[in-house]
Amino acid sequence: MMTATMKPVSRVLRLGCVLAFCFQVLVPYGLPRAWGLDNGLAMTPTMGWLHWERFMCNVNCQEEPDSCISEKLFLQIAEIMASDGWKDVGYEYICIDDCWMAPERDSKGRLQADPKRFPGGIHRLADYVHSKGLKLGIYADVGNKTCAGFPGSFGYYDIDAQTFADWGVDLLKFDGCYCDSIQHLAEGYKQMSLALNRTGRSIVYSCEWPLYVWPIFKPNYTEIREYCNHWRNFADIYDSWESIRKTLDWTSSNQKIIVPVAGPGGWNDPDMLVIGNFGLSRDQQITQMALWAIMAAPLLMSNDLRHISPEAKALLQDKDVIAINQDRLGKQGYWLRKEDNFEMWERPLLNLAWAVAIVNLQEIGGPRSYTISVTSLGRGLACNPNCLITELLPEKRKLGIYEWTSTLKTQINPTGTVLLRLETTSSAQFSHSVVSDFL
């Protein structure tokens, strides 16, 4: 039995390699609708809460009972998510990450929860979470051990899948540490996907498959999408602006590869929302929320909902921003351009609407003005011949009707973002099918 906090293996140095970057490219005009894993799940990006970034692998419940990985923590988070508005706006999954397990499997080869930290077991925890109208996620690893050294699933895929189903688990995050080859990694991710489906229980399958492949070669995203509901591509998120920036830079640099494959049932996962923690300013938190909406990313918070500021709570529960993230057109947004240390991102939405995010990358000085040519937005379609523009972040306000040939001037704080929603006022001349083909 462990009595001190375990130090998890670095999730950046995967398979002994450092993640590589590609040259920045523009997204192609042809974004085909992607089809993949047919389990009927994650038709919009998954929303919920995941313990890792905030609570990591703290197993020292004797000295830190309120922040260790234990049944108590997840029961408390479930209560808050059900009673404090989180469930109402769409946050549905409470996800356990690494360090929940006992050091050994049981006599029948099954994974088991640490008996001291989870005295009721996972089944009872799942029952409680379900009683609150929420769903439970759990963590395992494709290799011989988890990243923190607990039992891995290699050689036990069917047993573990059935165990999770028997417990009432609704989501599996499947990591890729301690796997001895890329071949075994790929085979393991496929086998677990098939094993989950054979259980007959609806279990969202969250993979880290491409994250481990990128240092070796370009992943086959068509294949990955056939087996996974969402997948991590880049290094773990940290509670820092540098980490957010690196994630956005990687995404924009590789968007030609990753954007076309995203869609209902399968999403690129840039990792957790760290809003409400310690490392981001108010403007940087706005930037993460806005860009995760543009990227159609799973919204998995990693924070302490028991002690969160009203400002962070309001941002995370912003229904207008969540509506962009959950937009059922199901197309991931993309980086459009960069000029004068401003970046522009945009995303097509249902009913010919568009979301546009403008990020001020400058980290010195005060707010700066940026003027946009309306004709450049939404591939020239968003405001043709005119559109209603609403600012959603940093504060909601209608900016008015803009003609196709007009300009829009914004003012943005350093490392902050303005998020806009554009709705055409005369969409009848453009059929939805024509625009879909154009996209």
Is residue 141 within 8 Å of residue 152, measured between CB atoms?
Answer: yes
**Residue 343, strand partner residues:** 338, 359
The DSSP H or E segment spanning 279 is: none
**Per-residue pLDDT in tens (0 to 9) along the chain, 439 residues:** 333 333 334 443 343 332 222 322 333 333 334 456 889 999 999 999 999 999 999 999 999 999 999 999 999 999 999 999 999 999 999 999 999 999 999 999 999 999 999 999 999 999 999 999 999 999 999 999 999 999 999 999 999 999 999 999 999 999 999 999 999 999 999 999 999 999 999 999 999 999 999 999 999 999 999 999 999 999 999 999 999 999 999 999 999 999 999 999 999 999 999 999 999 999 999 999 999 999 999 999 999 999 999 999 999 999 999 999 999 999 999 999 999 999 999 999 999 999 999 999 999 999 999 999 999 999 999 999 999 999 999 999 999 999 999 999 999 999 999 999 999 886 434 434 333 443 4
Which fold, 334-426?
Answer: Immunoglobulin-like (2.60.40)
Is residue 298 within 8 Å of residue 322, measured between CB atoms?
Answer: no
Domain ranges (residues) in the chain: 47-326, 334-426
- Reported residue count of the chain is 439
Q: Which residues are catalytic, by number?
A: 175, 236
Is residue 272 within 8 Å of residue 53, measured between CB atoms?
Answer: yes
The radius of gyration of the chain from alpha carbons, rounded to an integer in Å, stands at: 22
CA distance linking residue 321 with residue 336, whole number of Å: 19
- The amino acid present at 255, given as its one-letter code, is Q
Structure tokens at 163: 């165990």
End-to-end CA distance of the chain: 55
pLDDT value at position 26? Answer: 32
Structure tokens at 358: 């403008």
Helix (H, G, I), strand (E, B) or coil at 405: coil
CA distance linking residue 97 with residue 318, whole number of Å: 26
DSSP secondary structure string for all residues of 180-234: S-HHHHHHHHHHHHHHHHHTTS--EEEE-HHHHHTTTS---HHHHHHH-SEEE-S
Among residues 262, 333, 344, which one has the least CA distance to residue 44?
262
- The amino acid present at 229, given as its one-letter code, is N
For the chain, the maximum distance between any two Cα atoms, rounded to a whole number of angstroms, is 72
Residue 13: phi, psi to the nearest 5? -90, 75
Is this prediction's pTM over 0.85? yes
- If 0-12 CB within 10 Å is exposed, 13-18 middle and 19+ buried, where does residue 357 land? buried
**Residue 371, strand partner residues:** 409
- The amino acid present at 96, given as its one-letter code, is I
Q: Which CATH superfamily is domain 47-326 in?
A: Aldolase class I (3.20.20.70)
Q: In what order do the strands lie in the sheet with 93-95?
A: 267-269, 230-232, 204-207, 171-175, 135-141, 93-95, 47-50, 299-301
CA distance linking residue 306 with residue 73, whole number of Å: 10
Helix (H, G, I), strand (E, B) or coil at 300: strand
